[in-house]
Structure 1
């Protein structure tokens, strides 16, 4: 680091470690077509969209009404409850910037969970408090409640990444009500289409301190366009509009999002989610048949978490054979854990053939 950069860099950023996204760990380059990507919880499907370039010379709307109205209708809320952003990641950052004073306030996370809650807070010089999940990956509600009046935001991922677990309604209700006059409870529903009956979008009018994060990246197979949503009380949405960028959603993104949220697009999404759920169940059965593998967490999303003592060797074996999955062992209580994104039937079979081959080689070497 140059002396000038070191002199000017914010103190809270100097020791900050960037989020290790799937593409930072394994860059998508000229050899991407040779890889099978099962490490970022992306959909394996691609869907066609039409593009109209007639407005590309104009700045886009900050909150395109066609996108807002379509997503509000899909979610069963009003347009006043809805904000669109550059992925749910921007929604996380907007909440922290709008409601947390740098150097003074704190947020609460429940690890193991999605890493961007902490990264976004630390980038903004906001303290990160932690209430780890219990051994069975359920919320430690009693511990969470001790942070009343100590945090401004409580982040809860349900279904949770990377454990695949959903929070029982009574636990989530207890947390939301406990913080009703002191903090916003942010429920990240990035994977909710895989467990739709557990959504809390229909509770927004009942709980003014409830905020929901959503995305088109997972079930809608649109990770590449970076389009997410925040659902909340109108007062919260208006606060976020104070800190959002002037033109957060490019016109091409808005066009694709509108098409994805039409009845035809939603039907296609539901069909693909159903296929992924079937493929996930097949993967689970195959993994469970391996004595060296322990399934971990639950299956309420488009991925599977498992533990094996040979996780380093298995990871390297898969990388050498051009299949990429995700190492989650650095997270609390996830020692020796790997996460598999559910792919197509062919991709999953290719993966399992290699995993079976790996453990067969391990047995032969003993």
Structure 2
């Protein structure tokens, strides 16, 4: 018997999430993973590396709670937002019986985490205006445990309509949890749904230090929810999820000076994004520039395959979404530094 045949059936059939690093590529300008162009500098105290770390480092929890405007009891820190997604599925969904709901096109890890854990998936695709089909979602609430929404949505950049979200939250009471992934919310902080947590215990938010904080390499994310949800997730999370060096760096990033650095980075990225969007709209190869709410722009070209190939030939690695429903000829461009944005425009302006 082959070893593969010994694995769970779900794992044998699983196609791994195609992260930017797994897809790879050959180039010198990496604009395919929505990473920041810099990380900042941090100090590391090695005196406690011989000890197991705290499961939920109090300084990290308290500082993030203060930053997010919630209580410490409403915060869980995990290995990236991806672990928060996984924990929610493992905590609330019975394998082989329960289902989650997603709204494609959206972040791929919701489906991958469900499949890995033997949990079903109901897809209610985004409407033509790229908003969730709230009527369609509400009709499925008795069939799902978790509804995943992404705001700003990766890859389209759209924000979830608050009126529709409120209607969904009312309908979901005592039926399902509504999870809003706010991985990119620092680029449009006025659009966070954190203010709704106090009134809607069925609401959960996913956050991360990977994007605006420039710390994708340390894998540190947060789940914000009512204390009852956090208490259940604590039962499931690994005993030592946050390595001591990660906790030290996260605490520094969430200090007053760290937050000031993050906000300055966001201001720079948003300014570069606005400039790039304006120049793209003037280019004959561009059919559509999608919503500019994250640290990226999704762009529909004519045709996208040619633009993607030309960028790759020039060593500029972007992310192709042409195979996703409704995203033909679409390429996602991470907002890097000014030189990297100039390089993208230079290739577009060259003769084909």
Answering whether residue 235 of structure 2 is matched by residue 242 of structure 1, we say: yes
Residue 296 of structure 1, CA deviation: 4.0
Residue 292 of structure 1, CA deviation: 2.2
**In 2, Cα distance between the equivalents of 1:12 and 1:289?**
47
Residue 247 of structure 1, CA deviation: 0.5
Alignment equivalent of 2:24, drawn from 9, 23, 26: 26
Residue 192 of structure 1, CA deviation: 0.4
- Please name the residue that 1:186 is paired with: 179
Following TM superposition, where does structure 1 have runs of at least 4 consecutive aligned residues deviating by more than 3 angstroms?
Answer: none
- Please name the residue that 2:252 is paired with: 259
TM-score (structure 1 length as normaliser): 0.94
**In 2, Cα distance between the equivalents of 1:340 and 1:73?**
32
**In 2, Cα distance between the equivalents of 1:316 and 1:336?**
12
Residue 6 of structure 1, CA deviation: 2.8
Residue 313 of structure 1, CA deviation: 2.1
- Please name the residue that 2:347 is paired with: 354
Contact 1:97 1:124 in 2 (8 A): yes
Contact 1:137 1:297 in 2 (8 A): no
> 3-state SS of the aligned residue for 2:66?
helix
- Please name the residue that 1:223 is paired with: 216
Alignment equivalent of 1:14, drawn from 12, 29, 44: 12
**In 2, Cα distance between the equivalents of 1:96 and 1:51?**
34
**In 1, Cα distance between the equivalents of 2:120 and 2:219?**
27
Residue 14 of structure 1, CA deviation: 1.4
**In 2, Cα distance between the equivalents of 1:103 and 1:213?**
25
Aligned alpha-carbon RMSD (Å): 1.1
Residue 310 of structure 1, CA deviation: 2.3
**In 1, Cα distance between the equivalents of 2:3 and 2:159?**
43
Residue 24 of structure 1, CA deviation: 0.4
Residue 308 of structure 1, CA deviation: 1.7
Contact 1:39 1:326 in 2 (8 A): yes
Contact 2:277 2:289 in 1 (8 A): no
TM-score (structure 2 length as normaliser): 0.98
> 3-state SS of the aligned residue for 2:260?
helix
Alignment equivalent of 1:63, drawn from 45, 56, 63: 56
Answering whether residue 295 of structure 2 is matched by residue 295 of structure 1, we say: no
Residue 335 of structure 1, CA deviation: 1.0
**In 2, Cα distance between the equivalents of 1:17 and 1:7?**
16
Contact 2:180 2:204 in 1 (8 A): yes
- Please name the residue that 2:206 is paired with: 213
Residue 320 of structure 1, CA deviation: 1.6
For each residue in 1:192-211, what CA deviation from the matched residue of structure 2 results, as whole angstroms up to 9, or x when unmatched?
A: 01111111112111000000
How do residues 64-79 of structure 1 correspond to structure 2 at under 5 angstroms? 64-79=57-72
- Please name the residue that 2:91 is paired with: 98
For each residue in 1:76-134, what CA deviation from the matched residue of structure 2 results, as whole angstroms up to 9, or x when unmatched?
A: 00110000000000000000000000000000001110000000000000001011001
**In 1, Cα distance between the equivalents of 2:343 and 2:191?**
32
**In 2, Cα distance between the equivalents of 1:317 and 1:296?**
19
Answering whether residue 330 of structure 2 is matched by residue 332 of structure 1, we say: no
For each residue in 1:230-250, what CA deviation from the matched residue of structure 2 results, as whole angstroms up to 9, or x when unmatched?
A: 000101001001110110000
> 3-state SS of the aligned residue for 1:77?
coil
Residue 61 of structure 1, CA deviation: 0.4
> 3-state SS of the aligned residue for 1:149?
helix
- Higher mean C-alpha deviation, range 115-124 or range 129-138: 129-138
Q: Which runs of 5+ in 2 are unaligned?
A: none
Contact 1:159 1:166 in 2 (8 A): yes
> 3-state SS of the aligned residue for 2:147?
strand
Contact 1:163 1:296 in 2 (8 A): no
Contact 1:121 1:128 in 2 (8 A): yes
